[in-house]
Amino acid sequence: MSRIGKKPVQVPAGVTANVEGQKVTAKGPKGELFFVANDEVSVKLENNTVVVEPLNESKDARAKWGMSRTMIENIFKGVKDGYERKLEINGVGYRASMQGKNLQLALGFSHDVVYQTPEGITIAVPKPTEIVVSGINKQQVGQVAAEIREYRGPEPYKGKGVKYAEERIVRKEGKKK
């Protein structure tokens, strides 16, 4: 039994939820998102809460039960508060800047890397060594942050590169004589 799936999802204040068959739509101050649940789970709106239940006791239905509940909770949080991911840049001469809507990264290559901001995502550079990716879709925010980090991931010897703000780099000892 899914312990996560058993909990009903409370619709936050300021967010309107609508359930039509398997499609859950959430509209809030930041925007509008929807999630289409799998056919193996049922979704109902009762007393300002969304209840997700499996249709049968198959392993597949129980696996999708908890995931569907979490996805619905994520769209509610996204349209109300939004999501953000912070990245830090470490290294001599490594820096970031915004050029219109594009992110320009100097990461030690012979050229600057230009990352085009996708629709629905906002990228801010408060300091040259800090990048803040924000948006209402949790998956898209994480994907954009991962793509930026992928250009020059942190290396274990000096810790140079782009890393998540909460990430801890396990350092290695260099060569010995």
Provide the pLDDT for residue 29.
93
Domain edge (last residue) among 31, 60, 80: 80
Strands of 16-20's sheet in order across:
16-20, 23-27, 32-36
173 inside domain: no
Q: Are residues 38 and 109 in the same domain?
A: no
DSSP string, 60-108: HHHHHHHHHHHHHHHHHHHHHT-EEEEEEEESTT-EEEEETTEEEEE-S
Where residue 58 falls among pLDDT bands split at 50, 70, 90? confident
pTM: 0.88
Instruction: Quote the tokens at residue 52.
Output: 């997700």
Provide the pLDDT for residue 175.
87
Structure confidence by residue, pLDDT tens digits, 85-131: 999 999 999 999 999 999 999 999 999 999 999 999 999 999 999 99
The β-bridge partners of 36 are 23
* Mean local confidence (pLDDT), 146-166: 94
The CB density around residue 40, as the number of other CB atoms within 10 Å, is 17
Q: Are residues 92 and 75 in the same domain?
A: no
Our count of domains for the chain comes to: 2
The distance from CA 98 to its chain's CA centroid, rounded to whole angstroms, is: 21
CA angle 22, 46, 39 (to 5 degrees): 20
Domain edge (last residue) among 52, 80, 108: 80
70 inside domain: yes
Residue 130: half-sphere exposure toward Cβ, Cα within 13 Å: 8
Structure confidence by residue, pLDDT tens digits, 37-56: 999 999 999 889 999 999 88
Q: For residue 118, give its domain range.
A: 83-164
Provide the pLDDT for residue 2.
63
Q: Are residues 88 and 34 in the same domain?
A: no
Q: Which amino acid is at 90?
A: N
Q: Are residues 87 and 33 in the same domain?
A: no
* Mean local confidence (pLDDT), 163-171: 93
Q: Are residues 92 and 61 in the same domain?
A: no
| pLDDT surpassing 90 at residue 146 | yes
Q: Are residues 7 and 62 in the same domain?
A: yes
* Mean local confidence (pLDDT), 137-160: 94
| pLDDT surpassing 90 at residue 62 | no
Residues near 44 by beta carbon (within 8 Å), at least 6 away in sequence: 19, 50, 51, 53
Domain edge (last residue) among 80, 101, 127: 80
Q: Are residues 76 and 29 in the same domain?
A: yes
The CB density around residue 60, as the number of other CB atoms within 10 Å, is 11
